[in-house]
């Protein structure tokens, strides 16, 4: 009999433990009453541990660490089908994109979050947060051109979307860390071709301008070089002319300098051959007396 009682107690304990639900580390639990007058949400968040969950009660788990989720066109690890988000530019052109989000929940706001959405974390992500991101994209892109969205303005667009979603959910305890593009934006092919053609034309025009500027710079350089060379030659010519003028003036004022210079250069030898009209250098013969 005692053995039977012990076995019964053991089975009862196992059943009690089996009926208890676990709130793992990094999570906060919210216990919900399904029936009766107290139907609603338990005002106290349940921390890490095991808790008795009755037949008319249900436990929702909310992770408090960072959650990452992507809404993509192709099925991902979650097995979901096309979750990509489409929006339109100011021209009415449709753009499709894969979007990612990172966020976490404040532990002390879990009850408030559940009271607002009455859903678990997965449903909140897939339904409410996705709708917020989509609506923000539609609003922010409605006054942007396709070239802005497809080009450098893409970062500004997603930053504005992030700020809009953050301002909606932060007061209730959902902290958006980042909203980001996943891969390239998808546009109609004819639009992509037109944008690429315009970009190419702009680049070619810029290249032509650079070539013209370079040619002008080289021409200016050649002109400056020619001007410098001409000025240098003129300076040399003026210097030579001044030297000749000064030398001539000096010789006119000092005629004996020529004879002196010739004497300094004479080697002392008389010419071997002379013609009848040649004079013997530097010899001034006295005139014969009569």
Most confident of 100-104, 143-147, 248-252, 263-267: 100-104
Q: E-assigned strands of 67-200? A: 67-71, 85-88, 94-105, 174-186
Does residue 164 have a pLDDT over 70? yes
Q: 81 pLDDT band (50/70/90 cuts)?
A: confident
Closest C-alpha to 96, from 191, 195, 194, 187: 187
Per-residue confidence (pLDDT) for residue 130, from 0 to 100: 94
Query: Which pLDDT tens digit goes with each residue over 52-74?
Result: 777 777 888 889 899 999 999 88
Q: Which residues contact 150 (CB under 8 A, 6 or more apart)?
A: 95, 185, 187, 192, 195
Task: Look up the pTM and report it.
Answer: 0.60
What's the whole-number mean pLDDT along residues 177-196? 81
Per-residue confidence (pLDDT) for residue 101, from 0 to 100: 96
**Mean pLDDT score of the chain:** 77
Per-residue confidence (pLDDT) for residue 10, from 0 to 100: 53
Instruction: Write out the two tokens for 105.
Output: 């929940």
What's the whole-number mean pLDDT along residues 205-211? 74
Which H or E run contains 59? strand 57-63
Per-residue confidence (pLDDT) for residue 55, from 0 to 100: 76
Q: 86 pLDDT band (50/70/90 cuts)?
A: very high
What's the whole-number mean pLDDT along residues 243-258? 70
Answer with the residue of higher pLDDT: 133 or 111: 133
What's the whole-number mean pLDDT along residues 18-35? 77
Per-residue confidence (pLDDT) for residue 16, from 0 to 100: 45
């Amino acid at each position: 009999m005692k053995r039977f009682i012990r076995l019964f107690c053991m089975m009862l304990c196992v059943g009690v433990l089996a009926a208890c639900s676990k709130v793992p580390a990094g999570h906060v639990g919210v216990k919900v009453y399904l029936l009766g007058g107290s139907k609603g949400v338990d005002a106290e968040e349940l921390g890490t541990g095991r808790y008795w969950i009755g037949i008319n009660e249900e436990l929702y788990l909310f992770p408090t660490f960072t959650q990452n989720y992507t809404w993509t066109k192709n099925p991902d690890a979650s097995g979901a089908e096309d979750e990509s988000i489409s929006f339109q530019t100011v021209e009415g052109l449709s753009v499709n994109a894969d979007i990612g989000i990172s966020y976490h929940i404040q532990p002390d706001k879990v009850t408030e979050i559940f009271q607002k959405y009455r859903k678990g974390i997965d449903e909140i992500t897939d339904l409410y947060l996705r709708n917020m991101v989509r609506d923000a994209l539609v609003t922010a892109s409605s006054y942007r051109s396709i070239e802005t969205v497809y080009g450098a303005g893409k970062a500004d667009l997603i930053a504005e979307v992030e700020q809009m979603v953050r301002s909606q959910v932060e007061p209730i305890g959902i902290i958006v860390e980042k909203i980001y593009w996943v891969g390239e934006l998808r546009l109609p092919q004819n639009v992509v071709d037109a944008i690429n053609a315009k970009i190419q034309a702009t680049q070619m025009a810029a290249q032509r301008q650079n070539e013209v500027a370079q040619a002008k710079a080289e021409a200016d350089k050649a002109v400056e070089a020619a001007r410098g060379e001409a000025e240098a030659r003129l300076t040399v010519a003026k210097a030579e002319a001044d030297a000749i003028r000064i030398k001539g003036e000096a010789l006119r004022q000092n005629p004996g300098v020529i004879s002196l210079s010739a004497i300094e250069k004479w080697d002392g030898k008389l010419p071997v051959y002379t013609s009848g009209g040649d004079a013997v250098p530097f010899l001034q013969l006295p005139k014969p007396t009569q």
